[in-house]
Amino acid sequence: MGSRNILVTGPAINEHAVNLIVSKGYRVSYVPPYTSEDDLIRIVTDLDPVGVVVRMGRFGEAAIEAAPSLRVLSKHGVGVDNIDVDAASRRDIAVVVAAGANALSVAEHAMALLFAVVKRIVPLDGSLRAGRWEKPGFSGKELAGLTIGLVGFGAIARHMAAFAKAFALKVRAFDPFADEAAFAAAGVQRVTDLDDLIASSDIVSLHCPLTPDTRNLIDDRRLGMMRPGSFIINTARGGLIDEDALLRAVQSGQIAGAGLDSFQKEPPADNHPFWQDQRIVVTPHIGGVTQEANGRVGVDAVEGIFAIVEGRPLGRERIVNHRSLVHGSAARTPA
């Protein structure tokens, strides 16, 4: 019998997911959050898991090679930039995602960041607690009537669009890979040029994956295109934004504020310059970390592992590297 071990790169997984693992006769083990590569390789070598639920930290080529029995890497979410997909493909290891399982929670968090930034909740809260009553001379801003540009139009962005429209925002979106029907169903205007979207939006909200093509997508040039006094929201990946450029744009007044749930390096440094500017509202990459989403994502991630291991069909939208798999790929895709 092969390996019966499932590894989770994080301190926990939803109890329903754990029960599913145990019910299948497998054992679940955990890796401390953001453990070093050397420690990760040691743990992987000892356990030789057949499947890994990838949560926190990177799972790279060395860790993949340390597990001869490994057949599937299952992302606890949808962003696979912390997985070496090419190395997995060379070993014919499937990389699967829990597509859409946490989309509603992330979209809610994006809206929370949007309100916090535009309504200046954090600095107002801080000043009031410090004994200052800043009502005299204060001038706020309405969201209704503003234009929000969504970069990417997957499951999260589609929820975001519905929320934004409910608050009377004008919604436009850019996504060269989404079907035209998705825009029509949502009643959202499709923009075919990213620069046009950015230049014509009061709020830019990022909902695209981090790839070599999208790294530093928001840089000095594109920040300079944005309307003076506009806002940026990022609940996707920190690497989408050049953080130095964003800080310059906020400090110059080109950008009125930003709401960020992710960073170029996670966890960020204790002395990160964002901490000193309350126009930048920050949270520790927890947009999708709700009780409800954790339940859905955890179970989906584990079910993805067992679909691969047991040779059951799994939709191609769930398998990131289905085009690169060589052996047994028919069992991994729908009939």
Residues marked active site are found at 237, 266, 285
DSSP designation for 253: T
CA distances from 169 to 127, 150, 164, 203, 259 (A): 29, 12, 5, 10, 17
Sheet holding 170-174, edge to edge: 189-190, 170-174, 147-151, 203-206, 230-234, 255-260, 280-282
Alpha carbon 179 to chain centroid, angstroms:
21
Phi, psi of 154 (to 5 degrees): -85, -160
Distance CA 54, CA 34 (A): 11
Distance CA 1, CA 141 (A): 64
Distance CA 295, CA 158 (A): 21
CA distances from 304 to 22, 160, 292, 330 (A): 15, 26, 19, 15
User: What are 178's two structure tokens?
Assistant: 């989404």
- Residue 105, amino acid: S
DSSP designation for 331: G
- List CB contacts of 104: < 8 A, sequence separation 6 or more: 159, 292, 293
Sheet holding 72-75, edge to edge: 27-30, 5-8, 51-54, 72-75, 94-97
User: What are 97's two structure tokens?
Assistant: 């995602």
